[in-house]
Amino acid sequence: MSEKPATDRRTLLKLAGFGVGMAATPFAAAQESHGGHAMPAPAAASTAGAAPSPGYIFLNPDEAAFVEAFVDTLIPQDEFTPKGTDLGVAIFVDRQLYSGWGNGDRMYLQGPFQEGTPEQGYQLKFTPNQLVRIGIADVNDQVRAAHGGNTFDTLEEGDRITLVTALEQAKVELPSVPTRAFFNTLFQLVMDGFFADPIYGGNRGKASWKMIGYPGVGEMYADKIAEWRNRPYRVDEPLSIQDMM
C-alpha cells in the first residue's frame, strides 16, 4: 500500500496566504490576523462532512423526486461510494439552481433568440434553472404517457437507466427544450455535486476525493513533487475548504 504523509503546519500556513516570499508569520499571529477564519488544527478534519441543512429551496417535491432519482441513476451505490443522494448531490443541485448562476446572473440573455448553428453554442432564452425545471416537466410528461402514469422517479432502475441513456444520446425529443441542452446541464450539475468541495453541500465526507485518491485542497507539493515521483501519494483524510474554515 501507499505511504501516507501528514499535512504539516508549514503547508497549512502557506495556504492561509503566508507562503514563503511573503511576510513570515507565526501560526498564532496568522490566526489572529484572520479573525474568525483561522486555520484549524488538522484534527478539525474529522468533523467534516456534517450533513448540510436538509430540505429543498428551489425544487418543488415533484422536481426534487426527479432530481434524486436522476442523481442516483448517475451515481449508484457501489463498492466505491454511497449513492449520490446520500452524498448531498441532490441538495447541491437544488442550491446551485437557486443561486445567481442558476438564475443566469452572468449570462447574456438579451434577444432576439434564434437557434443558430451547432458552432454558435447555447442560444436558448432560458436561465439554467428554467431549463432544468422545464426539462424535468417535459421528461415526466413523456414518462407518464409511456409508462401508465408513472413519473421518472417511480420507474424501475432498469427503465431509469434506459431513459437516461436515451436522453444522453438525444434519442428522446422533448417538446419545450432541446434534449441535449437539458441533459448536459443537469448532467454537469450532478457531476459537479459529486466532485465539488463539500462546502457546497455535495461530495459529503469527500467521498469522491477519497474514491479516486485526491488529497484535497490543503496540500502543497513544492517539496514533494520530486520525492513522490512515480509513487502514489495518498492521505487518509483529504482536506476540503469546509474542513479548514
Partner 1 sequence: MAAMKLPAVDVVIVGSGWTGGIVAKELAPTGLKVVMFERGRPQDTVPDFAGPQAHDSLKYSRRLHMVQDLSQETITFRNSMDQVALPIRQHGFYWPGTNVGGSGAHWSGLTWRWSEWEHKMRSGTIAKYGAGIIPEDMNLQDWPISYDELEPYYDRFEKVCGISGKAGNIRGRKQPGGNPFEAPRRNEYPLPPMTPSHVMTLFDKATANLGYHPFPIPTANCSGDYVNPDGIALGQCHYCGHCTAFGCEANAKASPHFLMLPLARNNPNFQLRTNATVVKINLDSDGKRATGVTYVDARGREIEQPADLVVLGAFVTGNVHLMLHSGIDKPYDPKTNSGVIGRNYAFQGGGGARMLLDKDTYTNPFMGSGALGSWIDDVNGDNYDFAKAGYIGGGGISIGSNSGDPLTYHPTMPGQPRWGKGWKKAMVDAYHHVAGISHQGAVMSYRQNYFDLDPTYRDAFGRPLLRLTFDWQPNEQKLMTAHSAICQRIAEEITGRKEGGAGMPRSFGRFNSGFYQTTHNTGGVVFGDDPKTSALNKYCQSWDVPNLFVLGSCVFPQNAGRNPTGPVGALAFWAADAITKKYLKRPGALV
Chain residues 22-61 in contact with partner 1, contact rule CB under 8 A:
22, 34, 37
200 binds partner 1 (CB under 8 A): yes
Whole-angstrom distance, CA of residue 203 vs CA of residue 87:
5
Number of helices followed by number of strands (H, E) in the chain: 8, 0
118 binds partner 1 (CB under 8 A): yes
Alpha helices in the chain (DSSP H): 9-15, 27-33, 61-74, 89-98, 128-146, 157-168, 179-195, 207-212
Minimum separation from the CB atom of position 156 to partner 1 (A): 15
Residues within window 141-160 making contact with partner 1, judged by CB under 8 A: none
Q: Phi/psi at 20 (nearest 5 deg)?
A: -55, 140
Query: Quick one: which of 36, 54, 61, 112 contacts partner 1 (CB under 8 A)?
Result: 112
Total residues in contact with partner 1, by rule CB under 8 A:
73
Of 28 and 212, CB closest to partner 1: 212
Whole-angstrom distance, CA of residue 72 vs CA of residue 50:
20
Whole-angstrom distance, CA of residue 206 vs CA of residue 11:
20
Query: Quick one: which of 16, 38, 44, 166 contacts partner 1 (CB under 8 A)?
Result: 16
Choose the binding region for partner 1 from 42-50, 129-137, 147-155, 209-217 (rule: CB under 8 A).
Answer: 209-217
Query: Quick one: which of 48, 74, 155, 167 contacts partner 1 (CB under 8 A)?
Result: 74
Minimum separation from the CB atom of position 149 to partner 1 (A): 26
Grid cell at residue 8: 504539516
